[in-house]
Structure 1
Amino acid sequence: MPLLQVENLGVSFRSTPVVHDVSFTVDKARTLGIVGESGSGKSMSLLAATGLLGPGAVVNGRTLFDGTDLVTASPRHLRSIRGRDIGFVFQDPSSNLHPLVPIGRQIGEALTAHHRLDRKTVRRRVIELLDEVGIPRAQERLDDHPVHFSGGMRQRVMIAIALANNPQLVIADEPTTALDATVQASILALLRRLQQDHGMALVLVSHDLAVVSELADDVVVMRSGRVVESGPVDRVYNAPTHSYTVELLEPLAQPVAAPAGPRPERPELVRIENLTKGFRISRKEHRPVLWDIDLRIGEGEIVGLVGESGSGKSTLSRIVTGLDVADTGTVSFRGTSYVASGKRRPVVDPQVRRSIQMVFQDPYGSLNPRRKIAQILAAPFELSTDLPGPQIRRRVGELLESVGLPGDFADRYPVQLSGGQRQRVAIARALALDPALVVADEPVSALDKTTARQIVELLRSLRDERGTSLLFVSHDLGVVSALCDRVAVLHDGVIVEQGYTDEVFADPAHDYTRTLLGAVPGSTRKETVDA
């Protein structure tokens, strides 16, 4: 008998169905992967199956967990099961960990919610859990707050909370989204080890079929609230029967072949020389972030910047855009230095400020939720030009068209747009003043593969049609391989390798570059299949 059996599950909001006739099973000690793009109903199905949807949802069908129907169970009974018999690891640990409560207490609450335990027993168990999920010096970190942990370490804390009561089933909803390749690989390896050690069942939700292939025994593919394909992961991965599964299996972007002839010499647009940056943690402690950075970006060139979380990628991006200042070194735009070293805030010439724009990682946080899209896109013109209102409105329409959005989106608010549509608006805003350089900081990391592919094609067309240069910051080496002319590999604040992308990825000279390439999800399985 399966541990979890979902039968003909349906979910509706205000008589509008969003999940249709979904069925799947999870056997004891096995891993089920559920994949699909954003809005496919993956998370909605699991929330409905475990009774976590609000009163506005109408749920039909059955969800049998160890013989108990969770759809018809009382709220009290559900509370006794969730957290004790079913553990949850959610997508964003920053949003699901309380920022003001020490992590030791947060893990302890998962224990005391279901058991009467004294303080010493709780403390001992919390330390055991932190050790098990790989938090170094666990006993010393109990009183630390989430802000003191990296993204990968916060996710390990979430896994510790999910495992606190030795559940029979753990549901991990996008546990590696927006994590870099090496951290993602470590989280997947941790989940695999814990699943084997505890003999628990695991449901892994992801929009990336390569991630699922690393762990899952079986896979369910969802689209538009329906299951379109299911079966053993090897069969689905190697012989998919549905066109949508084939689409999900396609690489996010195809690597660009090396040119047959000599590579074009591009005039220099931006040069970074001898740049160093650090942050003061306390009166006595100064933590270096960037060391002696040298990098150039040519006119109409796309340069990739790759590295793990905490390597200094975003700090370098902020310095290049004039949002931060270096301790030493210079950044020059067409031969003129525009960011001076020192402690003061950077003062950038208005013309340079217009010529260098930024697209931030989070399309949800970078747009003002209280302003319509028309107001957001009009702001650059209102601040930097003397254009009259009718011309600004026309330019707003042209910007929306340039990023593939309908003109009527101008009257919408960001909340009415999907993640990919919001990122297109952010790109349109960056293009408003026809910049020479756009710095894109992880612009596709939180997007599903279909949406991310569209954003990559959009960025490529900007270079081809407008001649816009790009500094493309990413931990996705597949996208960098396809999009970027040259790549710089950043490790612990130092550029350890740089060169033409095809040459660096085909024959990496540094061990760290080889580590990054080896950590790409699905690479091992792909090599096995090809062999």
Structure 2
Amino acid sequence: MALFEVSDLAVTLHTGSRARGRQVVPAVRSFSFSVDRGQTLAVVGESGSGKSASLLAATRLLGVHAEVTGSVRFADRDLLSLSPKALRHILGKDIGFVFQDPQSNLHPFKTVGRQIEEVFRVHRAATRRELRGRVEGLLDEVGIADPSHAYRAYPAQFSGGMRQRVMIAIAIALNPALIIADEPTTALDVSVQAGIIALLRRLQHDHGTAIVFVSHDLGVVAEIADDVVVVKDGSIVESGSRQDIFGTPREEYTRALLAASRLHSVDAVAPALPVADEAAPLLSVRGLAKSYRTRARGSRRTVLDGLDFTIGAGEVVGLVGESGSGKSTVGRIVAGLQYADSGEITLGGVAFPTGLGDGIPALPAQARRSVQMIFQDPYSSLHPRRTVRASLAAPLVAQRVTRTEIPARVDRAAADARVGPELLGRYPAELSGGQRQRVAIARALVLEPALIVADEPLSSLDVTTQAEILALVADLIRRRRTAFLFITHDLGVVSSIAQRVIVLGPDGVEETGSTAEVFGNPQSAYTRRLLDAVPRLDGARAS
């Protein structure tokens, strides 16, 4: 008998309000799948296809606005008929969750240690004396350095990848029989991703844990899944063993997903783009240094020390490295959102101020328009009470664009980022993760900047949408000569779009050069390790 079995699951969402009119949206149509103890079932498909909604509905986490029918059995118990109290005994203890967006699922004002402790407290699984040791052991198990320090830290002090690891620690705390992992490796660099996959495999080996793995990363799915369910528009397109789905897919949609995934291989060739003028770069960075205050009085931790690079008009430079290497810090400084301690930063002839400041540097309005940023976490960077249209219009209002011009520019940016007109009246909470990321991209485009700093801009997108966005980036470069600083943990994305790459390691720049040269013949052991950790569609890491 299967541990977790879903039969004829259907989900209808009741959205909207009285003011805007209520809508009935069929999110899932007749889903049926099962997973045995010690097995991994992967659910793959594009954003908005119903992957996450089906699992949330099956465990009754969609809330009162969802109408759920069908049968969901866990260890021969019907989850849809359990009382709320009985369901609480199962969720978190017997069924662990890793949610897609760690930022919105971690309490900003509670330390990481206290949040992990809550799992043990709610289910009375440890004494007060045992708690600290159990939590620090979990932090160490998911690869967070210095667990005693991390225990006292707050989520805002962690990178996106580290926050995701905290979510995984919460999910595995009580060794559940089933883990539902919704994009669990999305925000992680390839080496940590490999470690998380190894951790999940070890849990299966040691405890017979079953895993339902929701992902758009078919390379990771090929590595971990036993069986695969392919989903489109709320329906299952096909299902079968990993070997059958990846080797001999029956449906055209599945073949399209696999083809899009191959575009993100580290062997992919970047499209032919205009040659940047190195003699007169758009952005010049020299001797960039940045440090942060630590808890120790008068002490600072150095993140960057002596970073040099340039970006020409119409050029894409990839910035890669593991979580905590300083990639996002570089992006925020270049975007004019954070001071550098020292160094020279010039964008379009405008010099950025530097110094040990904690606020946002003062820049002329033209420089603010010239550089825009796509943030790593689209949910927290979008105002929850603004519609998509209002969020896209906000930068234009701030730059005093005439009111009559705003609607056309919003529509143009939305179309460029593949944000459908039907989404413009919605709020962020009504969008899928991929849809929110496309809105964030549209907001960066709306001021038509010369440089876009893209911090993990594709991490929440399915592979086909990633391919569309990469094609959009190439088109923007050709038509507008928009330059990009592309910050990512996905080396395949860099290989397919960037002309040059900078590899940041724990001790600074490991190597830099053309993407083809660095990836084709890496000189640094650190770079070789990153490349070796990249998952492949054949289920093996690169070698």
TM range (shorter): 0.7 to 0.9
The 1:373/1:45 distance shift into structure 2, 3 A limit, reads closer
CA contact (8 A) 1:208 1:248 kept: no
Q: Of 288, 291, 302, which residue of structure 2 is paired with 1:288? A: 302
* Rounded Cα–Cα distance in structure 2 between residues aligned with 1:395 and 1:152: 34
CA contact (8 A) 1:251 1:478 kept: no
Q: Of 151, 164, 173, which residue of structure 1 is paired with 2:173? A: 164
Q: CA offset at residue 163 of structure 1?
A: 3.2
The reply to whether residue 304 of structure 1 matches residue 304 of structure 2 is no
The reply to whether residue 440 of structure 1 matches residue 442 of structure 2 is no
* Rounded Cα–Cα distance in structure 2 between residues aligned with 1:70 and 1:312: 44
Which string of whole-angstrom CA distances, capped at 9 and with x for unpartnered residues, describes residues 135-175 of structure 1?
55556755554445544444444334333333222222221
* Rounded Cα–Cα distance in structure 2 between residues aligned with 1:237 and 1:525: 10
Q: Of 306, 325, 340, which residue of structure 1 is paired with 2:353? A: 340
The reply to whether residue 521 of structure 1 matches residue 535 of structure 2 is yes
In structure 1, give the amino acid aligned to 2:27.
V
* Rounded Cα–Cα distance in structure 1 between residues aligned with 2:322 and 2:142: 20
Q: Of 497, 501, 506, which residue of structure 2 is paired with 1:483? A: 497
In structure 1, give the amino acid aligned to 2:375.
F
For residues 77-116 of structure 1, what are the structure 2 equivalents within 5 Å? Answer: 77-115=86-124
Q: Of 278, 289, 305, which residue of structure 1 is paired with 2:291? A: 278
Find the residue that maps to 2:332 and give its secondary structure.
helix
Q: CA offset at residue 526 of structure 1?
A: 5.6
For residues 26-425 of structure 1, what are the structure 2 equivalents within 5 Å? Answer: 26-115=35-124, 118-123=127-132, 125-126=134-135, 128-136=137-145, 138=147, 142-252=151-261, 253=263, 255-256=268-269, 266=278, 267-282=280-295, 283-334=297-348, 336=349, 338-344=351-357, 346-373=361-388, 375-384=390-399, 388-405=402-419, 419-425=433-439
CA contact (8 A) 1:363 1:426 kept: yes
* Rounded Cα–Cα distance in structure 2 between residues aligned with 1:371 and 1:516: 39
* Rounded Cα–Cα distance in structure 1 between residues aligned with 2:525 and 2:351: 35
* Rounded Cα–Cα distance in structure 2 between residues aligned with 1:97 and 1:180: 20
Which string of whole-angstrom CA distances, capped at 9 and with x for unpartnered residues, describes residues 450-480 of structure 1?
2222222111110011122222222221111
CA contact (8 A) 1:36 1:207 kept: yes
Which string of whole-angstrom CA distances, capped at 9 and with x for unpartnered residues, describes residues 235-281 of structure 1?
2112111222222222453622698xx97755422211111111222
Larger Rg, first or second structure (1 or 2): 1
* Rounded Cα–Cα distance in structure 2 between residues aligned with 1:343 and 1:122: 39
In structure 1, give the amino acid aligned to 2:304.
L
In structure 2, give the amino acid aligned to 1:204.
F
CA contact (8 A) 2:533 2:541 kept: no
* Rounded Cα–Cα distance in structure 2 between residues aligned with 1:486 and 1:389: 40
CA contact (8 A) 1:32 1:220 kept: yes
Find the residue that maps to 1:525 and give its secondary structure.
coil
Structure 1 residue runs of 5 or longer lacking an equivalent are: none
CA contact (8 A) 1:333 1:352 kept: yes
Q: CA offset at residue 102 of structure 1?
A: 4.1
* Rounded Cα–Cα distance in structure 2 between residues aligned with 1:141 and 1:394: 47
Q: CA offset at residue 486 of structure 1?
A: 1.2
CA contact (8 A) 2:271 2:474 kept: no
Find the residue that maps to 1:191 and give its secondary structure.
helix
Q: CA offset at residue 27 of structure 1?
A: 1.1
* Rounded Cα–Cα distance in structure 2 between residues aligned with 1:131 and 1:397: 47
Residue of structure 2 equivalent to 1:7: 7
In structure 2, give the amino acid aligned to 1:297.
I
CA contact (8 A) 1:130 1:160 kept: yes
* Rounded Cα–Cα distance in structure 2 between residues aligned with 1:400 and 1:217: 39
Residue of structure 1 equivalent to 2:481: 467
Which string of whole-angstrom CA distances, capped at 9 and with x for unpartnered residues, describes residues 43-90 of structure 1?
222222223332333322222222222222333322222233222222
Percent identity over paired residues: 51
CA contact (8 A) 2:142 2:196 kept: no
The 1:274/1:63 distance shift into structure 2, 3 A limit, reads same
Q: CA offset at residue 294 of structure 1?
A: 1.0
Find the residue that maps to 2:380 and give its secondary structure.
coil
Which string of whole-angstrom CA distances, capped at 9 and with x for unpartnered residues, describes residues 211-243 of structure 1?
122211111111222221111112211211122
- Greater Cα shift, 105-114 or 504-513: 105-114
- Count, aligned residues: 526
Give me the TM-score of the superposition, normalised by structure 1.
0.88
The 1:401/1:68 distance shift into structure 2, 3 A limit, reads closer
Structure 2 residue runs of 5 or longer lacking an equivalent are: 15-23
Q: CA offset at residue 499 of structure 1?
A: 1.2
* Rounded Cα–Cα distance in structure 1 between residues aligned with 2:422 and 2:100: 32
- Greater Cα shift, 473-482 or 104-113: 104-113
The 1:275/1:153 distance shift into structure 2, 3 A limit, reads closer
RMSD: 3.2
* Rounded Cα–Cα distance in structure 2 between residues aligned with 1:11 and 1:326: 49
* Rounded Cα–Cα distance in structure 1 between residues aligned with 2:270 and 2:161: 34
The 1:233/1:472 distance shift into structure 2, 3 A limit, reads same
Residue of structure 2 equivalent to 1:454: 468
Find the residue that maps to 1:268 and give its secondary structure.
coil
* Rounded Cα–Cα distance in structure 2 between residues aligned with 1:419 and 1:90: 11
In structure 1, give the amino acid aligned to 2:284.
R
CA contact (8 A) 1:36 1:208 kept: no
- Greater Cα shift, 150-159 or 490-499: 150-159
The 1:353/1:47 distance shift into structure 2, 3 A limit, reads closer
In structure 2, give the amino acid aligned to 1:339.
F
